[in-house]
Amino acid sequence: MENGKFPKLYGKIIRYLIICAAGILCFVALGIYPRQKSIANLDTEAAKLETEIMTQKALIPIFKDLSKRAAVKDPTTLPFPKKAKLDRAKAVMISDTFREIAQMSGLQLVDVVPDLKTLVSGSESLSVNVHLSGDFHNFRDFLIRMEQLPYLKHVERVRIQPAEGVKEFRLKLWLALDT
């Protein structure tokens, strides 16, 4: 009789063992394994970020050097004179004014051509075509100095073309005339 109870007891124990093992297996499969996988992904991502940080630290001196070289000092105060009008008698001497500005800026003045059609009596503006050659950085200085002219209305056109070792600059300007 005792022999008959043993198989039933072993059967129940084995069933409970299988159910517990299945429960533990489910817990591991649903709880621990995904966490391990996400931790591995985070480790990989952290390694990538660490490599990127090391690269950035190595490039900081180069960046600072290039930033210093590229920094253009903005003039704190640009001269903006009060606007005035050019006397018609002095309009003939305008080429001398542009020649002087070009020499101060380190550019070569090639040509200054006032448009005589705009010099007609009663006209309030004079169109002038200016042709220069030289270095681009000197052209910037030329523009700043030219802006100091009180009778400069506006610059209509600027064309920059490469030429033999230098650049050519062609400007079309409008000057205010006294009527």
- What lies within 8 Å, CB to CB, of 57 at 6+ separation is none
Dump pLDDT digits (tens) for 105-144: 999 999 999 887 877 767 788 889 999 999 888 898 899 8
- Which pLDDT value is given to residue 1? 45
Q: At what angle do helices 136-146 and 94-105 cross, to 10 degrees?
A: 130
* Residue 33 identity: Y
Give 169's Cβ-side CA count (13 Å radius): 22
Q: How confident is the model at residue 2 (pLDDT cuts 50, 70, 90)?
A: low
Dump pLDDT digits (tens) for 25-84: 888 778 777 888 888 888 999 999 999 999 999 999 998 888 888 776 655 566 677 888
- What lies within 8 Å, CB to CB, of 147 at 6+ separation is 78, 79, 80
- Domain with residues 90-176, CATH architecture: 2-Layer Sandwich (3.30)
- Which pLDDT value is given to residue 49? 93
